[in-house]
Amino acid sequence: MKNIMVTGGAGFIGSHLIERLIKDGYNVTAIDNFDPFYDKAIKLRNLTEAAINFHTIQNIDIRNMFIMRNFMKDKEIECVIHLAGLAGVRPSIEQPLRFWDNNCMGTMSILEAMYDIGVDKLIFASSSSVYGNTYTIPFKEDMNVDEPISPYAATKRSCEIMINNYWQLYKLSNICLRFFTVYGPRQRPDLAIHKFAKLIMKDKPIPFYGNGTTSRDYTYITDIIDGVMGAVNLIDKEHCNHIINLGEGNAISLNNLVHLLEKEIGKEAVLNKMHRQPGDVDHTFASISKAQKMLGYKPKVTKEEGIKKFIKWFRRQNDT
């Protein structure tokens, strides 16, 4: 297997993944519709940082099944890594129909295009948000996830179900990877670590929801990419239908996250304390035993190291 298509290729995770795939010798075709959720210039900078030729990224909307089908056929695609979609719990509460259209109908378009031309390998970026407020720690892939608490989570779970349906009906080989709060260089500016770092450095208050005891299993970008590459290797060798967590396997509270950022930045955060937000889960914590067994996955970057790396990148970006 050599010809791989990445959707959402100009994004945070997508640009890192393309960089790695090319380095490992794959022929990569990527698409991105440059949705205005955040500034297109940020995505173009992602490509520049990753030394990706802009012409490698085709401006295509995944919801157009006919264009998708013809494009994949022309490029002789053998495997699709589907990262594209709208992200964010709070925006999904404000615009649930838009999230359904982009995430679910977009995924359905990809599935139909793949079926039409006989592409039978799909790796899908799902999310830890599908677990909802599950209080059994750590989160395991065989848990019941039928009660998502945000439209975003519901779209990700719906996509998993649709993909499984194509396995049952058409034997579409697939691996759904549940990402746990990915961070690192090129992280989207709306996400907590990036947003907090920017505000702390400018001596502005950070939005601080609840009492700081909520926690997340933050996972560094290079570890996530290692996990995705493990999935690429697995799906190339095995006809499969798997759901697999990718996390660090270690959660940190909001209070402790802010302390880490303060320590690395050298400034104390100003907290704008607010009530908890609807749709936000209390905790995420990945069981990674399945990923270790099936993908050879072994996270290497601790949160302390990851925050240090991120802040170094952030300072460099703002010095240029």
pLDDT in tens, 37-62: 778 888 988 988 888 877 778 999 99
Please report the pLDDT score of residue 50 as a whole number.
87
Q: Which amino acid is at 162?
A: M
Instruction: Note whether 13 and 125 are within 8 A (CB).
Output: yes
Task: For residue range 222-237, list pLDDT tens digits in order.
Answer: 999 999 999 999 999 9
Residue 240's φ and ψ, nearest 5 degrees, are -145, 165
Q: Which amino acid is at 20?
A: R
Q: Which amino acid is at 308?
A: K
Distance CA 265, CA 308 (A): 9
Please report the pLDDT score of residue 36 as a whole number.
82
- Positions of the chain with pLDDT under 70: 319-320
Please report the pLDDT score of residue 15 as a whole number.
95
Please report the pLDDT score of residue 35 as a whole number.
84
**CB-based burial of residue 299 (10 Å sphere; 0-12 exposed, 13-18 middle, 19+ buried)?**
buried
Tokens, residue 3: 């010809």
Catalytic, 218? Answer: no
**Region class of 142: left (phi > 0), else alpha (psi between -120 and 50), else beta:** alpha
- Name the residue among 40, 35, 49 with its Cα closest to residue 7: 35
Please report the pLDDT score of residue 304 as a whole number.
96
Q: Which of 131, 152, 183, 220 is catalytic?
A: 152
Please report the pLDDT score of residue 209 as a whole number.
86
Tokens, residue 271: 């907290």
DSSP label of 249: S
In sequence order, the β-bridge partners of residue 5 are 29, 80
3-class secondary structure for 34-91? CCCCCCHHHHHHHHHHCCCCHHHEECCCCCCHHHHHHHHHHCCCCEEEECCCCCCHHH
- Domains located in the chain, CATH noted: 3-183+219-248+285-299 (3.40.50.720)
Distance CA 135, CA 38 (A): 33
pTM for the whole thing? 0.95
**CB-based burial of residue 210 (10 Å sphere; 0-12 exposed, 13-18 middle, 19+ buried)?**
middle
Please report the pLDDT score of residue 7 as a whole number.
97
Please report the pLDDT score of residue 39 as a whole number.
83
Residue 7's φ and ψ, nearest 5 degrees, are -90, 150
Write down the residue that tokens 């709306």 correspond to. 190
**DSSP alpha helices (H): ranges in the chain?**
12-23, 40-49, 65-74, 89-94, 96-99, 106-117, 151-170, 192-201, 221-237, 254-265, 289-295, 303-319
